[in-house]
C-alpha cells in the first residue's frame, strides 16, 4: 500500500492562485523539466527524488478524498498539476474541475447512482476510461489519473508519445503496463537516470505494480489513495 498519513501536499495550498507569482513560475519550470532534454531539476534527476514527488502527490490526493470536509474529487490529476516548491515538495494544484465527493456513491455502484451526473472533465491520457464511458464519477477516477502520473515519473515519457516499437503514438499506460505485468519493470525506467540501487529498484518495482493496479479497467478493483 501507499504509506500515507500526512497531508502536506495540497492540504495548505489548495489552489494555484494562492501561490506568489514568482514562486509559481519556478514551480512550473521545475515541473516541465521531467520531459525536457535540458538538464533536469534536482527533484526529478534521481529516483529518490521522483519517489518523493509521488509520495507527496499521493498524500495530497488522499487528503482531498479522506480528510477534507467535504471530501473532494480533483478530476484533473496530471503531472502538469503537480507543482514543486523551493524545497522540492510536491503540491497539488488547479482545482478548477474539482467536485465534492458524494459519500453515498461507492466506486462499485451502478452507473448513474450517487447524485447528479457531471459533464465529463479531465485531460486526454489521464482521464479514467470507465468514468468517460459510464459518466459515473468516484474517487477511483483520481486514482486512475495518479497511476498515469506514476508511470510518467518512472519512465520519463510523456503521457502520449510515439515509441520505437510503435507506428502511431501510444499512451504511457499502453507502453508501460505490459512490461510491468511481465515482471520487466527495468524496461520501463527512464534511461536518462543512473541505474537504481537495489533498494531503489525494489521500491520502483513496487511503484510499478501499484501503478498497474491504479490504471486497471474496473474502478472498484483499484486501490484507494490510502491503500
pLDDT recorded at residue 175: 94
What range defines the domain where residue 32 resides?
Answer: 8-221
**Cα–Cα dist 69/100, whole Å:** 9
Sign of CA dihedral 207, 175, 145, 39: positive
Least confident range of 52-61, 104-113, 118-127: 104-113
The answer to whether residue 62 sits within a structural domain is yes
The answer to whether residue 146 sits within a structural domain is yes
Cβ atoms within 10 Å, residue 117: 12
Q: How many domains does the chain have?
A: 1
Active site residues: 76
CATH at residue 139? 1.10.510.10
The answer to whether residue 137 sits within a structural domain is yes
The answer to whether residue 1 sits within a structural domain is no
Section 111-134 average pLDDT: 74
**Cα–Cα dist 129/147, whole Å:** 13
The answer to whether residue 113 sits within a structural domain is yes
The answer to whether residue 65 sits within a structural domain is yes
Between strands 170-171 and 160-161, the pairing is: antiparallel
Q: What pLDDT, in 10s, does the model give residues 44-59? A: 899 999 999 999 999 9
Q: And the C-alpha cell for 97?
A: 474541475
Q: How far apart are the first and last CA of the chain?
A: 5
Question: Under DSSP, is residue 99 helix (H, G, I), strand (E, B) or coil?
Answer: strand
pLDDT band, very low/low/confident/very high, at 132 (cuts 50, 70, 90): confident
Alpha helical stretches, state H, the chain: 8-11, 21-32, 47-62, 129-134, 139-155, 172-181, 198-214
Per the DSSP assignment, residues forming a β-bridge with 160 are 171
The structure's pTM equals: 0.82
pLDDT recorded at residue 10: 40
The answer to whether residue 226 sits within a structural domain is no
Amino acid at each position: 500500500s501507499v504509506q500515507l498519513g500526512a497531508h502536506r501536499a495540497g492540504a495548505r495550498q489548495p489552489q494555484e492562485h494562492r501561490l506568489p507569482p514568482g514562486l509559481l513560475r519556478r514551480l512550473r519550470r521545475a515541473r516541465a523539466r521531467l520531459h525536457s532534454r535540458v538538464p533536469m531539476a534536482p527533484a526529478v534527476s534521481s529516483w529518490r527524488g521522483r519517489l518523493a514527488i509521488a509520495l507527496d502527490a499521493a498524500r495530497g490526493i488522499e487528503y482531498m478524498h479522506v480528510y477534507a470536509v467535504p471530501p473532494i474529487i480533483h478530476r484533473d490529476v496530471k503531472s502538469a498539476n503537480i507543482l514543486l516548491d523551493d524545497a522540492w515538495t510536491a503540491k497539488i494544484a488547479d482545482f478548477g474541475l474539482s467536485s465534492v465527493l458524494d459519500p453515498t456513491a461507492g466506486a462499485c455502484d451502478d452507473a448513474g447512482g450517487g447524485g447528479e451526473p457531471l459533464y465529463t472533465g479531465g485531460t486526454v491520457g489521464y482521464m479514467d476510461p470507465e468514468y468517460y464511458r459510464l459518466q459515473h464519477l468516484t474517487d477511483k477516477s483520481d486514482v486512475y489519473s495518479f497511476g498515469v502520473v506514476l508511470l510518467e515519473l518512472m519512465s520519463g515519457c510523456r503521457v502520449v508519445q510515439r515509441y520505437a516499437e510503435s507506428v502511431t503514438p501510444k499512451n504511457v499506460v499502453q507502453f508501460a503496463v505490459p512490461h510491468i505485468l511481465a515482471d520487466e519493470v527495468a524496461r520501463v525506467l527512464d534511461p536518462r537516470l543512473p541505474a537504481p540501487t537495489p533498494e531503489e529498484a525494489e521500491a520502483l518495482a513496487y511503484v510499478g505494480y501499484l501503478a498497474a493496479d491504479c490504471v486497471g479497467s474496473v474502478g472498484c478493483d483499484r486501490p484507494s489513495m490510502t491503500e
